[in-house]
Amino acid sequence: MSHEYRLREQICTLARSMFDRGLTGGSTGNISARTEDGGLLVSPTGTSFGRLDPARLSRFDAKGKLISGDPPTKEMPLHTAFYDTRSTAGAVVHLHSCHSVAWSLMPEVDEDNFLPPFTPYAIMKLGRVKLLPYYRPGDPAMGDAVRGLAGKRSAVMLANHGPVVAGKDIEAACNAIEELEDTARLAILMRGYDARMLTEAQITDLVTQFDVEWDT
């Protein structure tokens, strides 16, 4: 069994898992991963995470040319911006997850540090998450905004739209974006309460111990 065959199956299995648990619905969301030859496998436009076909994933070569499969998601500028600016990026996932979108609408959200420090895991898996302004879906300006971060963030939140996360591989990217959604859900649940969050000393300890990218 080839590496690419296994990767195609893994993309569809993880996407289906997220769909089945309500992390993105209908034909929303998109997902991509690096192949061994430097190309990309990408979810096609208009497809559902619950019904991706491994054989029909959009296949790009190392030069960015579509060589097989269906036409790719219109959010390709988002994906390529992460790959072009983060040498460690092996996969990118974008969801329309409910709680993270809801938290992006709240007036008290910190644009430079989208997620409150409730648990260590979001810090360890995501670092600081940047809240980007609203863009029309498919607008290449979203990719420009990611490029403007110069590779310093592994995750962004598109206001009124959804999170985008880059990881070292497809499993890491999916785990991280689920952590983002879980933390946003906590933020909604705790809104209005005087919650005890992690202290600056505890955050610094996590950043140091787990070599977290913690751009300020």
Query: Catalytic site residues?
Result: 75, 121
> Given CA atoms 127, 172, 21, 80 in this order, what sign does their dihedral have?
positive
**DSSP letter (8 states) at residue 135:** -
CA distance 180 to 25: 17
CA 141 vs CA 72, 133, 145: distances in Å: 18, 10, 6
What proportions of the chain, in percent to the nearest 5, are helix, strand and coil?
40, 15, 45
Map residue 173 onto helix, strand or coil: helix
CA 198 to chain centre: 24
Asked whether the beta carbons of 130 and 149 are under 8 A apart, the reply is yes
